[in-house]
A = this chain, B = another copy of it.
Amino acid sequence: MISVKDFTREKVIYYIQKAENVEKLPKCSKTLINLFYEPSTRTSCSFHTAMLKLGGNIIEITDNSSAKKGESLEDTIKTVSNYGDIIVLRHPEKGAAERASKVAHVPVINAGDGNGEHPTQALLDIYTIYEEATKDLLKENITVTFIGDIKNSRTIHSLIHLLNLFDVTYIFISPPGLEIDTTGLNVLNATLEEALKITDVVYITRIQKERTSETYEPICLSKELLSSAYPDLIIMHPLPRQEELPPEIDDDPRAVYFKQVAYGVRMRMAILDELIRTMQ
């Protein structure tokens, strides 16, 4: 579970269907290693909870003292392979998860590698779209509007890879300087107001201040903007949020970003169980 590039349309549907049925998964007695070189309370807790619900154990390594003594990622991975059955790795460098998977004796899950990928977030996002926006990913064309820091969001990069397996129209609305290359994508140009009237999914993110030295004016949603928007759209956000998504929207039934958190636990249970089965 290193890159969304390994995914097919069938594999995505398989994981979604598995996530819908996590209550039926058998209990395991495996140990998960949460190896986080960058803090991420949300992602580490989500995996932690998922493993507990599967009956397994967790060892959290959030402050690797060996790394501070000069240990390479490879040495750490070879070492912690002895402490558990699956490694969840968050690392600031792109490609770290792939490097780790080459030396690990146990499966490695990429939980974010620098500005690279975040495949499990992408899976939980497409699962949320499936549950809340459309139950027919395979047949329907859906329109997804990305708002905010599109350039630095590995979450969005990974999600687009998965959405490309289906019939999707994209709208991108970002502060100047935070765009991505949209070559090959089915893009529709629209203002924020226009987009909100026709999109099925609004996916908004915060400006990732930790990844840039410049300041950008965020593009913000508001109750007013949403009052004239498409009544069946859904609003997603990977959280944590800042001013781009004011809490006044939380009561809107189209706001599904806290449901996303719950879908995340289910999807990670599905992913962990899948890896556990391949071990047997």
A108 close to B (CB within 8 Å): no
A253 close to B (CB within 8 Å): no
Q: Given the complex, which residues of B lie within 8 Å of A242, measured CB to CB?
A: 69-70
Asked whether, in the complex, the Cβ of A69 is within 8 Å of the Cβ of B240, the reply is yes
A42 close to B (CB within 8 Å): yes
Shortest distance from the beta carbon of A272 to any chain B beta carbon, whole Å: 15
Q: List 17 A-B contacts (CB under 8 A).
A: A39-B68, A41-B63, A41-B64, A45-B80, A48-B83, A60-B60, A69-B240, A71-B239, A75-B239, A75-B240, A75-B241, A75-B247, A78-B258, A78-B261, A79-B261, A82-B258, A82-B264
Asked whether, in the complex, the Cβ of B40 is within 8 Å of the Cβ of A83, the reply is no
- A-B pairs with the 6 shortest C-beta distances? A39-B65, A71-B240, A66-B240, A49-B83, A41-B65, A82-B261
Copies of this subunit: 3
Further pairs besides A69-B210, A71-B239, A83-B265: 11, Cβ < 8 Å: A41-B63, A45-B61, A45-B83, A46-B83, A48-B83, A49-B84, A66-B239, A69-B206, A79-B258, A82-B258, A82-B264
Q: Given the complex, which residues of B lie within 8 Å of A40, measured CB to CB?
A: 65
* Chain A interface residue bracket vs B: 35 or more
A57 close to B (CB within 8 Å): yes
